Structure 1
């Protein structure tokens, strides 16, 4: 019951008392109407919703950041007593709250819509919908919460790249292109008894010594990824506010490089230095690529360890790849040392440095660690706020990046 309903009920009781005290029969119908209107309105709002269900629809399946999107909210219920006024309240992640009136559209169906403008990248979960049901006179009101597990996924806006800044090579050869063999190898799977005629090169001598008889190695083909793209989500290096933050720029850079390599037919792996440390292998523009896009959309700068920990793992995606591209806003000495170690072993490596200072209006300060990478011939691209991302990822040169 609303405040207006309580006031009407009190007025009805007062009229009834006046009619009794002063003996005015003409007031009885008015008093009865006022008294009965409130419980009738209360009963109406409580019995109208039977087995309600709420769904949301929007037109774009692959929604990109900074797009506008219209969300249609549909309430369906069993047909019966006409539904009074219905207002839906819901919250969409960090996009804020929305209030929309649902209007009848056919039997048992009410529809309303609202528009989200300039949506940022992310996976925005819808909170349970709160329905406020009131009669047309505002005498009674009822609230109902309905939960529909849905999320608005907004993908990063990637850039088509004709070439990449490290196409000339990546390593101490200072620009010479490295010729790579097919990325396959063999790893030890198990050992078994030696069979007559097998090569002694396959003998596993530690097992042979323990068992006193010849044991041979069972090997299995272990394909390696050609390119690993490592996105650093260090929260300490993030500057700016989404969708114009340094991390959003890093996500766009990592996704654009990954897309360019996939279109070249290369086996890739996306690795995220975030709280979940997700990885996704991608070999073609299909379900694997869609999953990688979803990881990029949902990525948050919430890493709990520095990016160097992913480079230290011997069985991690960086160690298993033939080429490595690191996208980060924080160039630490430990990271540079790891990259130099890789470059000196003639394994291709490149760095995309997202300059955090430019996202908060601070003047640029030269990075000494970038000069160390430049001296080793490691390709570097620098991404700044407002700069052309394609130009940075296609044409950056090591000398220009370090001295910019």
Structure 2
């Protein structure tokens, strides 16, 4: 079914053609008409399925029908959890809106950089604001932006917005919005707390859930390789050098690990950079630009990169450290196999995380063969703390605490 059947403005159809969209994805086909009807919408679809265009196109269609005021009043607010996702959403909307008969003013605001240029940009108002919650609250306190005229609220990656640290900010922002508005929630996963949120402030929403079918499921080959913890970096180097990947996104558990792995790869003459939340925004932007341009071969990231980063034709994702949850696993591997392309996701499995990975497999409804790479076979002397369930919750005084686990992890990294 072509986009022309969705009653979109010709200017939007022209932008769609320029972006190379051949036909609507399942989430776009279901969500665009629902949003255009003006009611609340809750939509769930896998990462890389075209969710930004699914809400962006109808929002631009609705805005084009409005009379532009002077100064401009924010009619649409899009809340996102990360700086990278804010930039990605803003870039997509700007591209889709480029041929509209009226010029649109987008404001993309997030923390990690000076607030002054964002305040200057908001002088005279804005039509659509894409923001992380904390920076938006700062701008409101500075009287740089008002939410009094918002007609549509979008929570993109709504599950992440409900995590610790976002819930209070989200509550404050919701209290500042007009009670009569359209609410749109988009997410790749739909945890229990998101269901509670929908009950709290949505009004009889249209619920859309696109299943992972053989037609729309991302083409991602998943592999698991068993390796001792202290041999992971050597194995990573071996795979990069033998497979000749142009770009590799590696996920690590912490900022320290990401930086340590990147240093070791650079010592092996592999262009690598860490990517985590404590980097300046300028550095994060530069790392992504270098990665997209293939000036950097490997980016070693914490979970800050699991959402909102869209790297075209990224061939492989490697879970050097496993994610904490099945939902995080979905978002991590979803960085590859996007836009109809195939991808590869590799998991490093040790004796210390085998039980945890089995839980991820169960929740993902997958079962992966445990592969062994010649020269990197595990010696079964891994120093990591086993997470295998003993049935009785462990013996008091013997069960490793958080400090024990951190010491074991540090010891493993030192051995590398």
- TM > 0.5: no
**Structure having the higher Rg:** 1
Q: Structure 2-normalised TM-score?
A: 0.27
Which protein, 1 or 2, shows the higher relative CO under an 8 Å CA cutoff with sep ≥ 6? Answer: 2
Give the alignment's TM-score, normalised by structure 1: 0.28
